[in-house]
Amino acid sequence: MTVTVRELLDVSGERLKLRLVAGARGLDRPIAQPRVQLPGLALAGFLPQLHPDRVQVLGNSEVSYLATLEEAAARAATRAVAEAGVSCFVVTNGNEPPPVLVESAEAAGVPVLRSALRTADFIDVATAWLETRLAPETLLHGDLVEIHGVGVLILGKSGIGKSEAALELVSRGHRLVADDVVQVRRLSPSVVRGHAARLLEHQMEIRGVGVIDIEALFGTLATLDERQIDLVVELVEWPGAPDRLGLVEERHELLEVELPLVRLPVRPGRTIAMLVETAARNYLLRRRGRNTATELAARVDRELEERRGRRRAREGV
């Protein structure tokens, strides 16, 4: 996945205090890496240090270094970097881009941007924005709700009752993030977050009723724009063969992140929303170190061992 320099300028230009100085024909160049780079070593001639498809940031040190070079040497240094496949140059601290940089960038079709931010501030804000935009993502058919601070992704085949369960959870005071289509993004090796498609925000489709606006019906506190996914609940058709005690901890892989999984068999008479809420409560309990299933199994094992001991004592063993 990539973003373009044009997107960086248009979408986050105000936050980054950016303006275009030169190289407009290169605004559609891709940015493929979220980490920006200070090209000091590359300007000094060590080009293996340079990473293509990255934003190159020139702070006070880089600008000052270019000023110490003879014009021909400065031109050669900036030309070598500009022709190495970089995404763009950003000159920070409100400095004017050196003329040799502008000349080399124009010739190579590389945009030159100027930012009023300090170098460290620009790097922090730009990296955070790029990490979000370049994060791996996927679309899922399901519902995402927040229950007692737990992000619960409800999955299951079409028509099994995901939306109805989510609606009842909202009526019980929980919050809807997305219905039907959940856009999921991996922000780190262990964190995935989900949100609704832009056109479906706060909307829900209920068979027999139609499309409803959750925010209008239940208030602004009934919805949430985005939420980390902590637990996956899969609704499955009855009959099934679930683990009766809950000793087997299943996992669901989502964008290479392993999440705890609970399978709930669905049949008439079962209040699915209450069961999903209970699964979320049980997840919180396990995070605090309490596992009711294993505690029960341990008690049963102790009781059986004590009975065997009493039997051996009676038999004189």
| Amino acid in position 55 | V
- Span 46-55, pLDDT tens digits: 988 888 889 9
Q: What is the pLDDT of residues 236-284, one digit of tens each?
A: 987 655 566 566 788 999 998 999 999 999 887 788 999 999 999 999 9
Would you place residue 121 in the very low, low, confident or very high pLDDT band (cuts 50, 70, 90)?
A: very high
pLDDT at 48: 87
Q: What is the pLDDT of residue 247?
A: 62
Here the contacts of 297-305 (C-beta below 8 Å, separation 24 or greater) are 297/245, 297/247
Does position 172 have pLDDT exceeding 90, yes or no? Answer: yes
**291-298 long-range contacts, CB within 8 A, separation 24+:** 292/246, 293/245, 293/246, 293/247, 294/247, 296/245, 297/245, 297/247
pLDDT at 177 over 90: yes
* Helix (H/G/I), strand (E/B), else coil: 60: helix
Q: Is the dihedral of CA 128, 133, 134, 138 positive or negative?
A: positive
Do the strands 226-228 and 210-213 form a parallel or antiparallel pair, or are they unpaired?
unpaired
Q: HSE on the CB side for 224, CA within 13 Å?
A: 24
DSSP 238-267: SS----SS--S-EEEEETTEEEEEEEEEE-
All structural domains of the chain: 3-133 (3.40.1390.20), 137-293 (3.40.50.300)
Q: Is the pTM of this model over 0.95?
A: no
Positions marked active-site: 141, 162, 180, 244
CA angle 218, 193, 172 (to 5 degrees): 25
pLDDT at 252: 94
pLDDT of residue 306: 76
